[in-house]
């Protein structure tokens, strides 16, 4: 009678247990930042080289736009962002448009793109909202983005209420109404639940429950 060894099964079981623990421990590293979550703080440089953080705008409604000068969809949506900024900046809207270009004239080897002139880019489109630079691309890692442009609408309470992947018309009624609703409330009266979040086309929207 042949003897049956249980060792292969024990090894397989052990490997499965290890894989489960690894997957559980690293799930936060790969999950995208989504509406209903607090926006991660980050530090970037303005075009004068000064360090600026998202936290500097705490208490305001902030659009964090991640873009690049070589990105055609970014160029397409920037004019609508400018129109929205001119209309609502005086009521508390801030835009942090963070370029992930390589340093000017250098090649981003991960994309094979040459870093452009961010200031000249803004001037060519007549942009009045502030432009920032993160040549390291660390903001992309922090927000788990999948490309450019990608934009996050953050309320006065520091929570993400909308995420848009790809270019969009930012002064369209659905975007403008959401931002106006966020501007009308203070830091605390907004409640939210990611359980009622829903996806429509390229928009992931966290429903607002305004008290």
Instruction: Report the Cα 174 to chain-centroid distance in Å.
Output: 19
Report whether pLDDT(148) > 80: yes
Give pLDDT tens digits for 9-21: 555 565 565 454 4
Instruction: Please tell me the distance from the alpha carbon of residue 206 to that of residue 198, in angstroms, as a whole number.
Output: 7
Structure tokens that stand for 58 in this block: 């705490």
Give pLDDT tens digits for 110-139: 899 999 999 999 999 999 999 999 999 999
Structure tokens that stand for 12 in this block: 């397989």
Measuring CA to CA, how many Å separate 21 from each of 9, 12, 14, 16, 78? 19, 15, 11, 9, 43
Crossing angle, helix 173-184 and helix 72-88, to 10 degrees?
40
Give pLDDT tens digits for 185-197: 865 544 444 333 4
pLDDT band with cut points at 50, 70 and 90 for residue 152? very high
| Residues 6+ away with beta carbon under 8 Å from 184 | 210
Give pLDDT tens digits for 45-89: 999 999 999 999 999 999 999 999 999 999 999 999 999 999 999
């Amino acid at each position: 009678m042949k003897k049956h060894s249980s060792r292969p099964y024990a090894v397989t079981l052990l490997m499965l247990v290890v894989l489960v623990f690894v997957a559980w421990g690293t799930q936060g590293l790969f999950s995208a930042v989504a509406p209903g979550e607090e926006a991660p703080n980050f530090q970037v440089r303005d075009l004068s080289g000064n360090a600026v953080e998202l936290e500097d705008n705490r208490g305001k409604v902030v659009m964090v736009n991640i873009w690049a000068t070589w990105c055609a969809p970014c160029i397409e949506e920037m004019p609508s962002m400018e129109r929205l900024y001119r209309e609502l900046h005086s009521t508390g809207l801030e835009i942090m448009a963070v370029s992930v270009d390589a340093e000017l004239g250098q090649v981003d080897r991960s994309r094979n793109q040459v870093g452009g002139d961010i200031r000249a880019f803004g001037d060519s489109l007549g942009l009045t909202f502030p432009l920032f630079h993160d040549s390291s691309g660390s903001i992309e890692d922090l927000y788990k983005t999948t490309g450019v442009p990608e934009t996050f609408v953050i309320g006065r309470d520091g929570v993400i209420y909308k995420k848009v992947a790809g270019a969009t018309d930012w002064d369209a009624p659905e975007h403008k109404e959401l931002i106006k609703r966020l501007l009308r409330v203070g830091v605390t009266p907004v409640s939210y639940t990611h359980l009622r979040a829903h996806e429509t086309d390229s928009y992931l929207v966290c429903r607002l429950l305004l008290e």
